[in-house]
Structure 1
Amino acid sequence: MSDPDYEALYSALAKTPLSHWPNRLRSKVEVALDPARHGNLRAWQTVLGDLPGITPSSVDLTADCPRIGDSNQLSSEERERLVGQLKAFHPWRKGPFCLFGIHLDTEWRSDWKWNRLRDTLDLKGKRILDVGCGNGYYGWRMLGDGADLVVGVDPTLRFVMQYAALTRFVGPLANYVLPLRLEDLPEGNGGFDTVFSMGVLYHRRNPLEHLAQLKAHLGKDGQLVLETLVIEGETNSVLVPEGRYAKMRNVWNIPSVATLEGWMREAGLRDVHTVDVTPTTVEEQRPTEWMTFHSLPHFLEPGNPKRTVEGHPAPVRAVVIGDL
């Protein structure tokens, strides 16, 4: 296998209100996975094809570090080779994962974020859209919490290849990462029970337009889970950074919690409520062996963790939920 296999997804969608999606998705996925579009893609495909064909003795998606196989299934030489293969997809940002005793200590402790919100959600039997899903970490956690089907979208091919590598071992579970943007999906027709957008809103010039796009994919009694950067302030408080924010490009709007809740109500969501507001720390986002580039410790003002290097308030993230 040198590419993700989406045939099982297309078959699953054919039995849902999204039955028109497969024909529209196939051509877009094929274009996105054209090696001519990304200089590293052929090399990544080669690594995928060379991964060992080993079936894990067990898979536990309920663990903070999803556990795939046991350490005794690989010799030390096999483990060292697999580490090298997986590092071909560096940087690993979302995780962690525990693969045959290998601890993929990713840049983000994504399990911390998941644990802040998981008890507020009932995902049992739900069909879920995860926008900006990265390598699919949250999708596997959603399956572990009882979701029926997770469709993730992320246009970054490196993350899609990480997903494909992990899927090689996790097996044919109903968590899929499509190499697409939200805008590439067929027009929303309410085919999902829950829609997640985590770490995306501040990269959108028009936040209300993004919320409207997310809402269009929600079915009756659906729920939107939104996680994004926020600032302190009252209603209508919004930080519009000039240049970069914490060295990130394309950060357009960072609202106060009150403003964010107001945007969601304006988008037509009800029972809007904030379930978590947490400052991001250098323990939660940092460089590791699996992500050796600069990270949050380099993005903050030296000696002052409450400000970014540009002088903006340091990152604080909120999770806000609204119902259709």
Structure 2
Amino acid sequence: MSKPEAQWFNDCYKSLFDTPLSHWLQTLPAQLDHWQRNSKHGEFDKWCRLLAKLPSTTPSNIELDEKVAVGSLADVDVYTQKKISGLLQQFMPWRKGPFYVHDIHVDTEWRSDWKWDRVYPHITPLKNRTVLDVGCGSGYHMWRMLGQGASRVIGIDPTQLFFIQFQAIKHFIPRDDIHFLPLGIEEMQPLNAFDTVFSMGVLYHRKDPIQFLNQLKLQLRKGGELVLETLVVDGDEQTVLMAGERYAQMRNVWFLPSTKALAVWLERVGFENIRVVDVNHTTLDEQRSTPWMDSQSLKDFLDPEDITRTIEGYPAPQRAVLIANRK
């Protein structure tokens, strides 16, 4: 394993000693070694070389509570700021954010801060909790979780560009209580140990949503809290939309349940105290093209004559947040 990767993962291993997650060390190092040897993206080594060129800075401030911001232009000269900006642009497209690095605004496709504002008022306060973020993307919400006082935040996502984007931000915020592992939930052993598990924007990508919900449950301790955010449709306990080949131009969308059907699923797999805390239609201001993600976005995926429908004729994206506890 190359030096930077070894250090990233070794820091994670050290953080697991003498914690309720220590048994993960029986399998995790071998998994990540296998990933490094067999599964890396063709651009990964190039991305690592670019990461190594990010200049070291001494930020005057780090903000994780209201936003994810580190440093200001006053901490660096204009040349250094331009170098940082140019390197971060090499990791496009940036989908989840926004981030602010020495006054560089990484204006991501998604206003993930808006989603967080809808979610966090309803969850059990994260102070001193151990948190898992499943399908964490670039790690934006992980930083916000840390800003709410979580004692340890671990994100998993197999998308290697997201992994690199997370490491780029962590270069400027070198905390030892936040880690990203390039794994999918199907690779996770039942840890039965996290206080809170987040899954935001993943369920509808799974061919077997019931198995996925069970996998999430098995990462939680008894009584632990699941925070689930996903696409939904209107309807009763029996309403589930299975899209055709594409939904909003996405090929990998499978099941969109109603909130009532989703509550039934959660109860069947072993959750209780299930509550729907937010239902919200995705707007063209929340998901859009930007200079940091300059390909097609939501407006291109909706019917131009009726934005309440997707281009395929399905209901436009509506997202719900459900919270439940493991029995």
The equivalent residue for 2:248 is: 246
Match of 2:51, SS state, is helix
How far off is 1:146 after superposition? 1.0
Contact 2:15 2:176 in 1 (8 A): no
Shift of 1:71: 1.5
| Matched residue, 2:212 | 210
- For residues 37 and 195 of structure 1, the distance between their equivalents in structure 2, rounded to whole angstroms, comes to 26
The match for 2:144 among 141, 151, 171 is: 141
Does residue 8 in structure 1 map to residue 11 in structure 2?
A: yes
Would you say the 8 A contact 1:91–1:290 is kept in 2? yes
- Post-superposition shift, 1:220? 2.3
Q: How many residue pairs end up in the alignment?
A: 322
1:22 is the counterpart of 2:14: no
Question: Is the contact made by 1:136 and 1:176 (CA closer than 8 Å) also made in structure 2?
Answer: no
1:294-305 pair list within 5 angstroms: 294-305=296-307
Paired residue type of 2:210: L
- 1:103 is matched with which residue? 105
The counterpart of 1:92, out of the listed 88, 91, 94, is: 94
Residue 309 of structure 2 is aligned to residue 307 of structure 1: yes
Evaluate the alpha carbon distance shift between residue 194 and residue 106 of structure 1 in structure 2; reply closer, same or farther with a 3 A threshold. same
Partner of 2:130: 127
Q: Deviations over 1:274-314 (max 9, x none)?
A: 01000001100001111111110111011311010111100
Query: Residues of 2 paired with 1:36 and 1:216: CA distance?
Result: 25
Matched residue SS, 2:227: strand
More moved, 149-158 vs 68-77: 68-77
Structure 1 residues 67-82: aligned runs within 5 Å:
67-82=69-84
Q: Deviations over 1:259-281 (max 9, x none)?
A: 01111111111110001000001
Q: Is the Cα contact below 8 Å between 1:126 and 1:193 reproduced in 2?
A: yes
1:20 Cα deviation after fit: 2.1
How far off its partner does 1:222 sit? 0.3
Structure 2 unaligned regions, length at least 5: none
Q: Does 1:280 align with 2:282?
A: yes
Determine if the alignment matches structure 1 residue 56 to structure 2 residue 24. Answer: no
1:228-286: CA deviations, max 9, x gaps?
00001111101101110001112110001110111111111111000100000110000
Distance 1:216 1:101, change over 3 A: same
Rounded Cα–Cα distance in structure 1 between residues aligned with 2:110 and 2:71: 22
Post-superposition shift, 1:36? 7.0
Give the match's secondary structure for 2:8: coil
2:19 is matched by which residue type in structure 1? T
- Relative to 1, partners in 2 of residues 1:158 and 1:34: Cα closer, same or farther, differing over 3 Å? farther
Could you tell me whether the CA contact under 8 Å between 2:24 and 2:191 is conserved in 1?
no
Q: How many angstroms apart in 1 are the aligned matches of 2:38 and 2:169?
A: 20
TM-score by length of 1: 0.96
Matched AA of 1:158: L
Of 169, 175, 180, which aligns to 2:178? 175
C-alpha distance in 2 between matches for 1:158 and 1:87: 12
Matched, 1:192 2:194: yes
The change in CA–CA distance for 1:126 and 1:272 in structure 2 (over 3 A counts) is same
> What residue number does 2:235 align with?
233
5+ unaligned residues in a row in structure 1: which ranges?
Answer: none
CA RMSD of aligned residues (A): 1.4
Query: 2:94–2:292: 8 Å Cα contact kept in structure 1?
Result: yes
SS at match of 2:270: coil
* Alpha-carbon shift at residue 34 of structure 1 (Å): 4.2
Superposition deviation, residue 35 in structure 1: 8.1
Counterpart of 2:309, as a letter, is R
Give me the whole-angstrom Cα distance separating, in 2, the residues matched to 1:29 and 1:278: 37
Identity rate, percent: 45
Match of 1:6, SS? Answer: helix
